[in-house]
């Protein structure tokens, strides 16, 4: 098995809602520690994501038909009074069930085949005070990656909605607090994640940040025209910065027709990997499953099946090693401060 560093999962949210332990192989769900071992996932970015409500609603219930496709309206903004306590509950699950990766050395141990590790990631900066007073507390707690927005506006920037077809050129760029957040994360060696960000926010970060640009879970807009996916200009900026894109496993986000089809062939996801590798180089493409947060195809519908995707690419072992973990290691070495 080729060890994988996976760019994004929502297993903490699932465990928060269900009360299950991620140390046990659950009856359902995409990702837990036993499934990580079975699929060769050495480490993953575990999202702390605060939903609008406490209930596991099916996101498909919110889909609205449009003239030429569909859209999901924005959630209401989440105030910090809700975001902060829920985020701490999610982080407590990570402390309880997972080995936290805090340093490059920790990550190298994971890739060498020790205990699977969890990189603590904030998906949407709602739990961070706009004056950044509690950012250092979160870093102390283990936070190593921060997504400025989820698909909704917050104090720092504006995310893109789920929509088909559509493009990310909507909404304003970073706020003043957002610019401060980018500088503060650069100074402290916290990885910034541009997934879910709109186009103006993306290029604001690109011009401001000193770190390689990272989009943890997305796909190529040229193949699947959705605001969540990256335009060629955005891909080029990621490549120029020495960063990477983690390709998402969602069928809806990777299919050209924007449909949810569970028997979608793995070639569809592989097509995004190949497109990005051809456009900006195979040093700049990685994996970002979004397990427990998306609708992967049946052939890849839990973490134990991770290696199946590598098998359809027809790449040699050195190329697969870059895709699976080498590119993440390079980018995090250039970003984190141990
Ligand atoms: Zn996401």
- Interval 108-150: pLDDT, tens: 999 999 899 999 999 999 999 999 999 999 999 999 999 999 9
Spacing, Cα 288 to ligand 1 middle (Å): 10
pLDDT at 242: 98
Q: Measuring CA to CA, how many Å separate 48 from each of 4, 115, 259, 325? A: 21, 21, 27, 22
Q: What is the pTM of this model?
A: 0.98
Of 321, 251, 254, the C-alpha closest to 286 is 321
Q: Give dist(CA 114, CA 117) in Å, integer.
A: 9
Spacing, Cα 293 to ligand 1 middle (Å): 7
pLDDT at 16 > cutoff 80? yes
Span of 3-7, 39-43, 57-61, 69-73 with lowest mean pLDDT: 57-61
Q: Cα(first)–Cα(last) distance of the chain, in Å?
A: 28
Spacing, Cα 246 to ligand 1 middle (Å): 11
Spacing, Cα 166 to ligand 1 middle (Å): 17
Tokens found for residue 129: 């005070």
| Average pLDDT for 206-230 | 98
In the chain, how long is the greatest CA-to-CA distance?
52
The answer to whether 45 and 11 have CB atoms below 8 angstroms apart is no
Spacing, Cα 196 to ligand 1 middle (Å): 7
pLDDT (tens digit, 9 = 90+) per residue, 290-320? 999 999 999 999 999 999 999 999 999 999 9
How many other C-beta atoms are found inside a 10 Å radius of the C-beta of residue 154? Answer: 23
Spacing, Cα 217 to ligand 1 middle (Å): 7
Cα 321 to chain centroid, rounded: 20
Dihedral angle computed from the Cα positions of residues 217, 29, 266 and 242, in that order, rounded to the nearest 10 degrees: 20
| Average pLDDT for 39-58 | 91
Of 107, 122, 34, 120, the C-alpha closest to 327 is 107
Residue 97 φ/ψ region, left for φ over 0, alpha for ψ in the -120 to 50 degree band, beta for the rest: alpha
How many other C-beta atoms are found inside a 10 Å radius of the C-beta of residue 206? Answer: 17
| Average pLDDT for 229-236 | 98
Please, which residues have CB within 8 angstroms of residue 246's CB and are 6 or more apart in sequence?
A: 6, 7, 8, 214, 215, 216, 217, 218, 286, 287, 288
The answer to whether 296 and 8 have CB atoms below 8 angstroms apart is no
4-335 is a CATH 3.30.43.10 domain:
no
pLDDT (tens digit, 9 = 90+) per residue, 248-275? 999 999 999 999 999 999 999 999 999 9
Domain ranges of the chain: 4-335
Spacing, Cα 216 to ligand 1 middle (Å): 8
Spacing, Cα 177 to ligand 1 middle (Å): 22
Spacing, Cα 123 to ligand 1 middle (Å): 7
pLDDT (tens digit, 9 = 90+) per residue, 152-180? 999 999 999 999 999 999 999 999 999 99
Spacing, Cα 45 to ligand 1 middle (Å): 11
Spacing, Cα 270 to ligand 1 middle (Å): 19
pLDDT (tens digit, 9 = 90+) per residue, 71-86? 998 888 899 999 999 9
Spacing, Cα 46 to ligand 1 middle (Å): 11
């Amino acid at each position: 098995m080729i060890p994988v560093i996976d760019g994004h999962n929502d297993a903490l949210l699932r465990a928060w809602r269900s009360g299950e332990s991620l140390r046990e192989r659950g009856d359902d769900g995409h990702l837990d520690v036993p499934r990580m071992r079975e699929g060769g996932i050495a480490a993953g970015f575990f999202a702390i994501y605060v939903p609008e409500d406490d209930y596991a609603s099916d996101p498909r219930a919110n889909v609205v038909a449009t003239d030429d496709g569909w859209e999901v309206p924005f959630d209401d903004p989440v105030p910090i009074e809700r975001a902060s306590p829920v985020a701490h509950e999610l982080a407590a699950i990570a402390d309880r069930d997972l080995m936290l990766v805090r340093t490059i050395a920790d990550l190298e141990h994971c890739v060498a085949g020790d205990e699977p590790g969890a990189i603590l990631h904030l998906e949407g900066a709602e739990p961070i005070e706009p004056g950044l007073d509690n950012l250092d507390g979160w870093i102390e707690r283990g936070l190593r990656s921060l997504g400025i927005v989820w698909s909704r506006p917050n104090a720092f920037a504006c995310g893109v909605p789920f929509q088909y077809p559509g493009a990310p050129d909507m909404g304003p760029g970073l706020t003043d607090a957002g610019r401060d957040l980018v500088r503060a994360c650069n100074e402290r060696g916290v990885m910034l994640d541009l997934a879910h960000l709109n186009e103006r926010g993306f290029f604001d970060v690109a011009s401001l940040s000193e770190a390689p640009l990272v989009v943890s879970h997305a796909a190529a807009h040229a193949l699947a025209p959705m605001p969540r996916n990256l335009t060629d200009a955005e891909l080029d900026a990621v490549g120029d910065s020495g960063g990477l894109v983690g390709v998402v496993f969602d069928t809806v986000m990777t299919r050209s027709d924007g449909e949810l089809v569970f028997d979608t062939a793995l070639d569809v996801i592989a097509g995004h990997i190949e497109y990005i590798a051809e456009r900006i180089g195979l040093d700049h493409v990685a994996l970002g499953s979004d397990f427990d947060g998306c609708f992967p195809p049946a052939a890849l519908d839990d973490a134990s099946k991770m290696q199946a995707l590598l098998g359809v690419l027809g790449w040699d072992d050195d190329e697969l090693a870059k895709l699976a973990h080498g590119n993440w290691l390079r980018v995090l070495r250039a970003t984190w401060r141990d």
